Amino acid sequence: MTTLQSGNETGVLAGDERMLIDGELQETASGAKFDVINPATEEVAGQATDGVVADMDRAVAAARRAFDTTDWKRDVEFRYHCLIQLRDALVEEKERLRRIIVTEVGTPIATTDSIQLEFPITEAGHWPEYGRGFSYLRETGVLAGDERMLIDGELQETASGAKFDVINPATEEVAGQATDGVVADMERAVGAARRAFDTTDWKRDVEFRYHCLIQLRDALVEEKERLRRIIVTEVGTPIATTDSIQLEFPITEAGHWPEYGRNFSYLRETGVHESVVGNARRMQQYDPIGVVGAITPWNCPMYLNIAESVPALMAGNAVVLKPAQLTPWSGSELGRIVAEKTDIPAGIFNVVISNANEVGAALTADPRVDMITFTGSTATGRRVLAATAPTIKKVFLELGGKSTHIILDDADFSLYLPMAAAAACAMSGQSCTLPSRILLPRSRYAEGLEILKASMEAFPYGDPWDPNVFQGPSISETQRQKVLGLIQSGVNSGATLITGGGIPAHLPKGYFIEPTLLSDVDPNSQVAQEEIFGPVITVTPYDTEQEAIDISNNTIYGLSGEVSSGDEARALRVALQMRTGTMTINGGSYFGLTSPLGGYKQSGLGRRNGENGFEEYLEIKTIGLPV
């Protein structure tokens, strides 16, 4: 709610009448002005200078000259300085601006707490910080990562010297190799982690943990361009995605958890409580769990390697990371950076690289491991749970999803359907939270399909090194064939193939799939029930809100979902009935380091991010003391 400070006034306020050209506030030469109407009263609220083409010509010439002849385009620090000045001035003038915006737009004053004013001011501060840290000079092209793994502080290969090939999904060629660890390597890594946790001060020394993990964050920043090339090489992800979830966001996360954990209250007074034996004073101690085994997937390897390691480390645990076989370098590079550029003690962080499933299985079953975190398919998650049961390990699971996007009949189709198509194709559809099922109201079904078809056919896919591409290849031929098989199963069960559905003729090399749209999909069919993990949208019509909700909930998954509507309250009402751990309403993102992320039903156990996510890596000890 907007609360104006004492001395601030509300009510109609006219803005400045002048324009800015070449650094000078001025009116048009003729002095002509036009009226600005207050939409809430239909009255003239004030005037503004009425510029002409000659004014625009002078402004463009001034901009051209300034760009061509000054250091603005080269001096990042000066741009940062000036734009932070602008942000600070907007904050200073906020209440004046609030009145002017309400006057000329007629927008409710409540909206100035968000999109109409507060958000723009936040954005005015975001871009200077982002641009200051942006890499303006980048090398591109295939780059192999470190072949070694990290065990007990030493970068090493497996004893036999065996290696396996790492394939570039965009070319189907061998990009390099990685050491092929065996069960004995995993056993040594777990032993080192157990010893380091039990015998060092890592679990008690918060400031030292902070120091080491800030070193890690700084080293990631320093090595960012090398990592960018390695990630695009082994994942096949478009280079554009490394500006967000594939690299920049993980680096941000690597700095977030040291700050969070440094300020976390590990010993808390909870007050005096009554009990059956009289009053007692209570305390809670948050202790690290011990040795954490982290098994990560291939779709966002650097993000998930960091997301499942850094908070666990900052909470005081020792970690054994087992990266995915298809993307080993995101893990080996993290191990190399820890070994070469941080003071993290030997054994506290280990990375075991292997192409063999039994190596990961050995980690889940080892009695010296106290917790397993696993991100991947629900089928593998079940096997992880079974393997951990004999030793009653704590388990965090982020598993599969079959997210539904319900488009209500009052939604702006031209806005939300292109966004839905882009979301489904981004990262080649290889994300468990992407809304791959779209439910359209039958009354606007044909209209919706037409927009989706055009959006899918226009979506840029291909060479991941092209900065204008947002869909690269699938990770492997096995994965591509799985996706193509699910598309065919949809057609076999009665769905209509609207566009795509095959291997693009213009991309003969690489594991590419055309952006694919299936309509009239039976909500009980295989393609509607199984996670596809490809650039595929299935569309099903519905007649009532309740039918849409029921279709959405009729799946074993419950990771994410989305509702779009012209009425936010209506969208929220529908969203609250969908059995998922995260929800997007009208494009609003739930994703962030302070927001818990996890699934209902067979989409997982526990939560990542936020206070809940940090506490996943801690045990709680309750202490009673006399009053």
Q: Is 398 a catalytic residue?
A: yes
Contacts for 493-497: CB closer than 8 Å, 24+ residues apart? 493/521, 493/522, 493/525, 493/526, 493/527, 494/520, 494/522, 494/525, 495/519, 495/520, 495/521, 495/522, 495/525, 495/527, 495/538, 496/520
β-pair partners for 284: 268, 622
Distance CA 613, CA 627 (A): 33
502 conformational bin, left if phi > 0, alpha if psi -120 to 50, beta if neither: beta
Nearest partner of 253 among 329, 332, 313, judged by Cα: 313
Consecutive H or E run containing 310: helix 310-314
Catalytic residue of the set 432, 531, 562, 616: 432
Task: Answer yes or no: are the C-beta atoms of 174 and 165 closer than 8 Å.
Answer: yes
CB within 8 Å of 614: residues ≥ 6 apart: 257, 260, 261, 264, 311, 314, 315
Catalytic residue of the set 398, 545, 562, 616: 398
Distance CA 476, CA 484 (A): 12
Q: Residue 273 corresponds to which tokens in the numbers above?
A: 């409580």
Consecutive H or E run containing 624: strand 618-625
Q: What type of residue sits at position 560?
A: S
**How far from chain centre, in Å, is Cα 185?**
32
Count other Cβ atoms within 10 Å, centred on residue 467: 13
Q: Is 425 a catalytic residue?
A: no
Q: Which residues are catalytic?
A: 398, 432
